[in-house]
């Protein structure tokens, strides 16, 4: 399976996926998920900038398409936030609803988007709604799990418990490949 992931990365970026102790846990988590997916628990890769989180997630997406014959849609968190601002004439939840058309979704760079001055948080809303619908969400972030939960939790602590069910947090360590 790691060979298959490596081929997916090479096809996308023209480079070999470097497998080392820093990313082995992430690759094993992806492999396990592809072999035995859980109903609602997605993979959340976290770690420093440039360590290959998004590249691994892109390979994961390609493998899902080939193995399961299912599409895995991918968006960046800043794009989702910017898209909400573009569609201000629409209800806040309509942007979130559009992301419910996909049972499997990857959100890259979670935490990189800036919060709204109004206090609304489209990423929190998307994740809450996807959890309630039983849809699987995967992602990448530079936030540690504690920071992630603090950033997206609400005043009723609804999200804290949901995140522990929604995501298997997998750390990628190491220096930037860039």
The C-alpha R_g of the chain, in whole angstroms, comes to 16
- If one compares 45 and 16, the residue with the highest pLDDT of the two is 45
Q: CB of 77 within 8 A of CB of 155?
A: no
pLDDT of residue 122: 79
Mean of pLDDT over the chain = 79
DSSP strand pairing (136-141 vs 42-46)? parallel
- From CA 28, how far away is CA 35, in angstroms rounded? 11
Residue 93: pLDDT over 60: no
pLDDT of residue 158: 79
pLDDT digits (tens, 9 = 90+) for 32-80: 888 877 666 899 999 999 998 988 888 888 887 777 666 667 777 877 7
Residue 23 is predicted with a pLDDT of 87
**Surface-to-core class of residue 26, CB atoms within 10 Å of its CB (0-12 exposed, 13-18 middle, 19+ buried):** buried
Whether the CA torsion 12, 126, 135, 70 is positive or negative: it is negative
Alpha helices (H) in 69-157, listed in sequence order? 77-86, 92-98, 122-133, 145-152
Every domain of the chain and the residues it spans: 2-171
Please report the pLDDT score of residue 142 as a whole number: 96
**Dist CA 5 CA 27 (whole Å):** 8
Whether 143 and 46 have beta carbons less than 8 Å apart is answered as yes
CATH tag, 2-171: 3.40.50.300
127-143 tens-digit pLDDT: 888 888 888 899 999 99
- Helices 2-13 and 24-35 sit at what angle, rounded to 10 degrees? 110
At 127, list the tokens. 């994740």
Q: Cα 65 to the chain's mean position, in Å?
A: 16
Q: Helix, strand, or coil here: 36?
A: coil
Check if the beta carbon of residue 150 is closer than 8 Å to that of residue 26: no
Of residues 172 and 87, the one with the higher pLDDT is 172
**pTM surpassing 0.85?**
no
Sequence-ordered list of residues with C-beta below 8 angstroms from that of 141, at least 6 positions apart, any chain: 44, 45, 46, 53, 109, 110, 111, 148
């Amino acid at each position: 399976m790691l060979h298959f992931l490596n081929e997916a990365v090479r096809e996308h970026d023209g480079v070999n996926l470097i497998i080392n102790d820093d990313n082995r846990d992430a690759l094993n988590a992806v492999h396990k998920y592809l072999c035995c997916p859980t109903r609602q628990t997605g993979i959340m890769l976290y770690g420093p900038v440039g360590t290959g989180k998004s590249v691994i997630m892109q390979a994961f997406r390609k493998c899902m398409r080939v193995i399961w014959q299912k599409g895995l849609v991918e968006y960046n968190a800043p794009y989702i936030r910017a898209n909400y601002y573009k569609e201000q004439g629409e209800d806040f939840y309509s942007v979130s609803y559009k992301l419910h058309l996909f049972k499997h979704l990857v959100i890259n760079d979670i935490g990189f988007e800036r919060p709204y001055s109004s206090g609304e948080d489209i990423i929190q809303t998307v994740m809450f709604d996807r959890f309630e619908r039983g849809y699987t969400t995967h992602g990448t972030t530079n936030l540690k799990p504690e920071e992630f939960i603090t950033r997206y939790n609400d005043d009723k602590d609804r999200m804290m418990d949901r995140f522990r069910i929604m995501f298997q947090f997998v750390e990628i360590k190491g220096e930037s490949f860039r």
